Structure 1
């Protein structure tokens, strides 16, 4: 619908967000590490912060 948004947080550049069209950054093409999104070292589940234009 032409609404601008920006993803932030550990999940912003994940393959999940890319496949859901939340972000246009392909983690495979940009060589981003999946461990930042989901790893044993994290004490909490991944977060997705999204900013929408108003």
Structure 2
């Protein structure tokens, strides 16, 4: 699942990237023990998104 999510974070379509971040965000709200697993991907996506 992580590879699939990471691939969507890099998708050329803005809407796909946004949907992936939203989905992972909702998922970790339900299962906070997964934060360490997805933290790096989310923080990287957020930082890249603020540079554009």
User: TM-score, with normalisation over the residues of structure 2?
Assistant: 0.29
Tell which has more relative contact order, 1 or 2 (C-alpha 8 A, sep 6+): 1
More strand by share: 1
More helix by share: 2
Larger-gyration structure (1/2):
1
